[in-house]
Amino acid sequence: MAKRLYRSLNQRMIGGVCGGLAEYFDVDVSLVRLIFTAIALISVVIPMLVFYLIAWIVIPGRIDSPPAGPGSVHPPPAP
C-alpha cells in the first residue's frame, strides 16, 4: 500500500501541515518547521533586496539639496 500525505493531528501548531510532512518523510518536525521558515524568509527578503537595488539604480538622486554632513540636520543653537 502506498504512503499518503495527511495533515498531522498530533504534531500541529496551526494546521498540522509541517507535522504531516515530517511524518510522511519520517524526519523531526522541528527540522521541517525550520526549513519552512527559512524558505518563507528567503522568498520575502531576496525579492525586496533586488527591488531596492533596482530602485537605487533607477531613481535619480536629488541634485538641488546640499549633501548631508555634520550639523546639516540640526544647526547649532543660537547664542
Q: Which domain holds residue 22?
A: 1-48
78 found inside a domain? no
57 found inside a domain? no
67 found inside a domain? no
**Nearest alpha carbon to residue 12 among 21, 25, 3:** 21
28 found inside a domain? yes
43 vs 33: CA distance, rounded Å: 15
Count of domains for the chain: 1
22 vs 33: CA distance, rounded Å: 9
| pLDDT tens per residue across all 79 residues of the chain | 788 888 888 888 888 898 999 989 999 999 999 999 999 989 998 899 999 999 999 988 877 766 666 655 555 566 7
With H, G, I as helix, E, B as strand and everything else as coil, classify residue 12.
coil
58 found inside a domain? no
32 found inside a domain? yes
Q: What is the pTM of this model?
A: 0.61
CB 62 within 8 A of CB 42: no
- Res 65: pLDDT: 64
- Res 5: pLDDT: 85
